[in-house]
Amino acid sequence: MRPWIVDTGASDHMTGDAAILQNYKPSNGHSSVHIADGSKSKIAGTGSIKLTKDLYLDSVLHVPNLDCNLLSISKLAHDLQCVTKFYPNLCVFQDLKSGKMIGNAELCSGLYLLSCGQFSNQVSQASCVQSQSMSESFNSVSNSKGESMNEHQVWESFLEGVPSFHSESPNPSQFAPTELSTPMPPSV
C-alpha cells in the first residue's frame, strides 16, 4: 500500500487503490473531483479504511487516476474531532476532548507521511525507510529511571512540553484572532 500523504488542501480522503477499501460502494460515475493541476478525475466509488488503532477513515473516495493516498486534514478534524499540529519534521493528530495523540506523520521529501508503524495494513518497505529508522531508535530509548520506553511512551514524552489543545467549550472561534494583522484583499 502506498503511504498516506497529509493534505491540507484536499476536501476528502482519496485513494487510487480500491483494493485497500472496506465496505466499497461503486458510484454512479457522474461525480468527479478537481485535482490540484486543474484537471478533473472521476470518482469510481467510496469505502472505509482503518489506518491505525485510532484513525478510521469513512467515506474515502476511490479516484482511479490518483497515484497516491490523500489524508484530508479538514475531513479528519471534522470527523474525528481532532486537531493537527505541524512541527518542522512531524505533524501530530490530537483528540480535542482527551488531548490524546491519535496519530502522527513524519516529514519525508517535503511531504508529511503517516508513520509506517501506525498502519494496520502491510506497507511497502521503500516508502518507510525514514520512519523505520526513527522507530528503531525508539527501541533503545529509556526514561529518566532507566526503564525502557515503547514508541507510544516516547511520543507522549516528546509531546509533554508541547501545549495541547484543551477546551471545555466546543466553540473553536474562541481560539481565532480577533483582528487580522494584514488586511484581506477586496473580493472580486
> What are the boundaries of each domain within the chain?
4-124
pLDDT at 37: 84
- The more confidently predicted of residues 4 and 172 is 4
Instruction: For residue 42, give the nearest of 51, 33, 52, 53 by alpha carbon.
Output: 33
pTM value is 0.64
The C-alpha cell that represents 135 in the structure block: 522507530
CATH of 4-124, one of 2.40.70, 3.20.20, 3.30.1760, 1.25.40: 2.40.70
Q: Which residues of 159-180 are buried (b: 16+ CB within 10 A; e: fewer)?
A: beeeebeeeeeeeeeeeeeeee
- pLDDT score of 15 more than 80: yes
Active site residue 54: no
Which one of the listed residues 7, 17, 67, 79 is annotated catalytic? 7
Give the pLDDT confidence score for residue 71 in this predicted structure. 96
Q: Which residues pair with 48 in a beta bridge?
A: 22
Residue-level pLDDT at 186: 54
Q: What per-residue confidence (pLDDT) applies to 76?
A: 96
Confidence of residue 149 (pLDDT cuts 50, 70, 90): low
Instruction: Look at residue 133 and tell me whether its pLDDT is greater than 50.
Output: no
